[in-house]
Amino acid sequence: MCYAIPGKIILIDGKFVTLEYFGEKRKARNEFYDIAIGEYVYAQGGFIVQKIEESEALPLLEIWKEVFVVLKERDLRLVSEPKTLYQTANAKRQQVLGNSCCVHGIIEFSNYCVNDCLYCGIRKSNSKVKRYRMSIEEILAATKDAVSRLGFKAIVFQSGECPYYTDEMLIDLVKSARALGILVTMSVGERSIESYKKMYDSGARSVLIRFETSNKKVFGKIKPESDFDKRINLIKALRDMGYLVMTGFLIGLPGQTEQDTMEDIKLTGELQTEMFSFGPFLPHPETPLKAEKSPSLEMCLNTIARARIMFPESKIVVTTAIETLEKNNGAKAGLMAGANSLMVNITPEKYRCCYEIYPERACNDVKVEDRIKYVINLLNSLGRAPTDIGI
């Protein structure tokens, strides 16, 4: 299954192009290719990530055409008359963004971290976690498999804050991954502006970096080695550099109020975020917050719905943490509350269980092929097209 639909170029205006999909028009930025009107491309996150020959594109579009129509009709049938908060949010999602649901792969390539955040299971003080670092060659082997065999067009490369990986190593990773025709998202924490600029110049176009909470007092308690203003300024600098920013927060942190959550949503939107990434605080037994309680699923769904209503054009991911909080229904409930994105963990199995940011993480013991099958079936049942068709 490919997580993108080929689009036909019908207009070029500098770096911006207009693509046509089954009569729908979407805009995307082109920074990597020589293109012409009438050619076919793949777009992810609003960027053209790959050209495709017409002879290859047309059969794919023929297959997608019938499926796409069926999914749109199903999505429309499932959008209820807005009566509840969730129904209102889901209707707004459908009205503004249609039935598109982007599906990204994520490779967690190291669980070493120099920080000692109170909520995180891979904090440096946790001596019980089994540490690992993937080599650049291992990361690229997993990436090539995800692209060629599994069909991914967008991959997040995530680690703890691990200085073992030099700028040169990350540049090599970005260049090699970008050459495969994918949207490259880096999630490597607080590195220097110069480091992120080098990755951008090498082809990275998206970054995932959360601020965790907009409450400075709570931030200071849970991230004692970090500075709130420095982190926010880094996010803004990355946005201004041209990155698509994915950011967000934790729901239900100790000391956090409902008003704090609303301020978290507001800040996420004000940062001109491409994707909202937030999930419940899940206490880890090897952290100082082990005795604290997790928030309810209802609190998480309310946050998704409010974020959708406040920022209708945003992409909102159903995080694995939400699926961990409610393993049987978390993903579906999140999508029906207004979310429109999912991530599939494609970290090699021998490392996956070691990225233990919180305990008993959903899907750790599920083969990636089975996880993909579940995601595709879930999206089909809800009438969502498992693709990112631009902005």
Torsion sign across C-alpha atoms 291, 292, 296, 297? negative
% of the chain at pLDDT higher than 90 = 90
Q: Is 12 left (phi over 0), alpha (psi -120 to 50) or beta?
A: beta
Instruction: Report the C-alpha gap between 138 and 9 in whole angstroms.
Output: 36
Q: What is the CA radius of gyration of the chain?
A: 20
Given this model, what pLDDT does residue 293 score? 96
Cβ atoms within 10 Å, residue 25: 12
Instruction: Give the model confidence (pLDDT) of 201-222 as tens digits.
Output: 999 999 999 999 999 999 999 9
Q: What CATH architecture is 7-77? A: Roll (2.30)
Indicate the pTM of the whole model. 0.96
Give the CA count within 13 Å in the CB-facing half-sphere of 140: 15
Give the start-to-end residue ranges of the domains of the chain.
7-77, 85-382
Give the CA count within 13 Å in the CB-facing half-sphere of 249.
27
Angle at 362 between CA 360 and CA 365, to 5 degrees: 85
Give tens-digit pLDDT for 223-239. 999 999 999 999 999 99
388: pLDDT confidence band, cut at 50, 70 and 90?
A: low
Domain spanning 85-382 has what CATH number? Answer: 3.20.20.70
Contact 182, 174 (CB under 8 A): no
What is the pLDDT, as a whole number, of residue 24? 84
From the list 280, 200, 221, 220, the residue with the least C-alpha distance to 248 is 280
Is pLDDT of 378 > 90? yes
In terms of C-beta density within 10 A (0-12 exposed, 13-18 middle, 19 or more buried), how is residue 225 classed? exposed
Task: For residues 216 and 194, give the distance between their C-alpha atoms in angstroms, rounded to a whole number.
Answer: 26
107-164 pLDDT, tens digit each = 999 999 999 999 999 999 999 999 999 999 999 999 999 999 999 999 999 999 999 9
Q: How confident is the model at residue 391 (pLDDT cuts 50, 70, 90)?
A: very low
SS (H, E, C) the chain: CCCCCCEEEEEEECCEEEEEECCEEEEEECCCCCCCCCCEEEEECCEEEEEECHHHHHHHHHHHHHHHHHHHHHHHHHCCCCCCHHHHHHHHHHHHHCCECEEEEEEEEECCCCCCCCCCCCCCCCCCCCCCECCHHHHHHHHHHHHHCCCCCEEEEEECCCCCCCHHHHHHHHHHHHCCCCEEEEECCCCCHHHHHHHHHCCCCEEECCCECCCHHHHHHHCCCCCHHHHHHHHHHHHHHCCEEEECEEECCCCCCHHHHHHHHHHHHHCCCCEECCEECCCCCCCCCCCCCCCCHHHHHHHHHHHHHHCCCCEEEECHHHHHHCCCCHHHHHHHCCCCEEEEECCCHHHHCCCCCCCCCCCCCCCHHHHHHHHHHHHHHHCCECCCCCC
pLDDT band for position 55 (cuts 50, 70, 90) = very high
Strand partners of residue 110 = 133, 159
d(CA 218, CA 212): 10
